[in-house]
Structure 1
Amino acid sequence: MNRTVKTILLLLVLAAVAYLFVSKVFTGTEEQAVAAKSGGPMAQKVAVDVFVVSPTAYQNNITSTGSVIPNEDVELRSEISGRITSINFEEGSQVKEGQLLMTINAAEMQAQLQKLESNQSLYKDMEARQRTLLEKEYISEQEYDQVSNQLATATADIQALKATMAKAYIRAPFDGIIGLRQVSEGSYVTASTPIARIVDVSPVKIDFAIPGRYSQMVREGETITFTTEGSAAEYTAKIYAIQPNIDPVTRTLQIRALFENRNNEVKPGAFVSINLPLREVEEAILIPTESIIPEATGHKVFLVKDGKAAPQMVKIGQRSETMIQILEGIAPGDTIISSGILQARPGSELNIRNVRTTEE
């Protein structure tokens, strides 16, 4: 075989290879076009359920947790040091304001008081005599002033000692229940010795906090409902004090309510679940909670626009078990994806399976 024939055969082989390559490319393109028209894998859409937004009346409720604290709570201590001579209360009993609870030994102070009162009596007699002599000009003004000052000093010393002696008698500062005592009769106590705790539990206070964004929606005098841990009973309390500032760390507003607790059914220290009803919103935007996608910068939903998925940032409000309030980002009439969100991407073609509305 000469060189010319070999060249011709090589050209024929190259032409055959080129023909096969071009045919494969065009055939693949036609198959893709056919697949696209027939809804094959190349044209697969994301199957989703959607929710059509419409305004609806909504009672905005805030749920929170809190604690029960007593109306008044004091740990009894003695202001003076001494030995306990008598204990006049029963542990766990009801006491009245001013009731004598305990006496500290004041024998030395009592003896000192008698001495001062005796001196005071002497100075009174001396002052009376000196005043008579002064009126008759038998003594000078200076001599009279000396006795008068001695009387005034003795009187002041008696008043100071009586004030100190009063501290030997420990009395109830308010009506309440006295707890377990920590001392016994005959014990020596100082100002740092705890004696017992007295608490006023009728009424009790309910301490709780709400998110700062609701600070303009709550007022003193409004009513809350709460339940205690381990009990299904629901109680009603009234807000009487609101912290004037939002905590810059937690971004919450501290609130305190008052519960009468006439039957002592709620114990201080208990954990409570709280429901605070706010004003009703006549035209609120509510969407299913599963439609919300948390983002680093906020929250996002997917809207349906021209059959495609379109992301939209939103500002959320109050949340319930199934619905969440949208404050910004969505308008009535918008359609959002409520199911199939994980497969949706911006611009994804959508296959809508079910359509829900607020009324359903």
Structure 2
Amino acid sequence: MKLKTQNSRRKARPAHWRAMRQVISCLSMRKLRMPSLRVNMVAIFSMPCKKTHNPPRHSLTSRIVSCFAVCLAALLLLPTSSSAQEISARGLVKAMSRAVLASEIGAVVSQTPYRAGDTFKKGDVLIGFDCRLLKSQKDKVEAQEKASKAQLINARDLEKMRSIGKLEVTMAKAENDKDRAELNIAKLNVERCRIKAPYDGTVVHLLVNQYESVDLRRNLIEIVSSSELEVEVIAPANWLTQVTKGQKAQMHIDELGQSATVEVLAMSGAVDPVSQTVLIRGRIIDKPDGLLPGMSGAFKP
């Protein structure tokens, strides 16, 4: 009877130790990942015990010891951060020029030729307003400026014939200057009837619809430049001694599955005291096709 019990214990024990030896063997060859470690840990605890009237007293103890041995082996054999082959930080692709254009006048929207996702060129009209009233006011001020200019010319001719004094000429000149200033204001208001693109880019959001009446400083459209993109990286503070201005680095774009070359432009002048991180800014040299602002990836100096 004793011999049979000993044989049953010898048959149940190797299953636990077999799982532990497999984990330690993989760790020693640097082939074990965390999911495999969890699977083997679960396997050690979930292995069924042979049902006997007198189960082994040290079955649970043996499993706990096995798990502790696996954890200790993982701590001793897995590479630490100091011996890691590569260091990386997360980088975010940003547009060098991105803006929300607002209304400078109060008027009715007459045209919205571009919508979200549309591309445009510098100088294209993005938003147009119904400015018939402002144009009429400009014409009125322009007529007043012509009249005051004629009066100024007449006053100077009369001064030459000694018919009037210098005061009348000065007053005529001041009236003409005032009309010219009002004409410039009227022309500026008419120019504001059309919002033009300041650079080549793409529409991000159209925030207004045609025929809507908008007030002063109302947000109308959000645009982003498609010419140059930059990268912002939140890196550990010790990178200040490893990364220099002008250095070339690689960034793997997660959304595209491609890598891009980045040139380091500048580093922040201060370290965040809480997270002990620093901001690194770079310029993308060879832009992959389809790269857009907002994409992210692993930055490796």
Q: TM-score, normalised by structure 2?
A: 0.67
Distance 2:287 2:216 in 1: 34
Matched, 1:163 2:183: no
Which structure ranks higher in relative contact order (CA pairs < 8 Å, sequence separation ≥ 6)? 1
8 Å CA contact 1:202, 1:261 repeated in 2 = no
Distance 1:259 1:227 in 2: 12
8 Å CA contact 1:65, 1:274 repeated in 2 = yes
Offset, 1:232: 3.3
Runs of 4+ in 1 over 4 A off after TM superposition: 58-61, 260-264
Q: Larger % of strand: which?
A: 1
Residue 182 (structure 1) aligns with: 207
Aligned residues: 221
Residue 139 (structure 1) aligns with: 164
Residue 232 (structure 1) aligns with: 257
Matches within 5 A, 1:240-251: 240-251=265-276
**2:248 partner amino acid:** T
8 Å CA contact 1:82, 1:188 repeated in 2 = yes
Residue 212 (structure 1) aligns with: 237
Distance 2:98 2:139 in 1: 37
Offset, 1:60: 8.1
SS at match of 1:62: coil
Flag the structure with larger Rg. 1
Larger mean Cα displacement after TM superposition, 76-85 or 194-203: 194-203
Percent identical: 20
Offset, 1:206: 1.1
Q: Larger % of helix: which?
A: 2
Distance 1:202 1:120, change over 3 A: closer
SS at match of 1:156: helix
Distance 1:230 1:146, change over 3 A: closer
**1:108 partner amino acid:** L
Matched, 1:88 2:116: no
**1:198 partner amino acid:** I
8 Å CA contact 1:91, 1:180 repeated in 2 = yes
Pairing partner for 2:89 from 52, 58, 64: 64
Matched, 1:172 2:211: no
SS at match of 1:195: strand
SS at match of 1:256: strand
Q: TM-score, normalised by structure 1?
A: 0.57
8 Å CA contact 1:202, 1:264 repeated in 2 = no
Distance 1:261 1:106 in 2: 45
8 Å CA contact 1:176, 1:198 repeated in 2 = yes
Offset, 1:230: 4.7
Pairing partner for 1:126 from 151, 167, 175: 151
- 1:220-249 Cα offsets, whole Å, 9 max, x none, are 211111112254322211111221222223
Offset, 1:88: 2.7
8 Å CA contact 1:203, 1:261 repeated in 2 = no
Distance 1:261 1:110 in 2: 48
Residue 293 (structure 2) aligns with: 268
Offset, 1:265: 2.1
Pairing partner for 1:152 from 165, 177, 193: 177
Distance 1:104 1:271 in 2: 38
Distance 1:242 1:254 in 2: 6
8 Å CA contact 2:260, 2:286 repeated in 1 = no
Distance 1:153 1:161 in 2: 13
Residue 62 (structure 2) aligns with: none
Distance 1:255 1:130 in 2: 67
Offset, 1:61: 5.0
8 Å CA contact 1:68, 1:270 repeated in 2 = yes
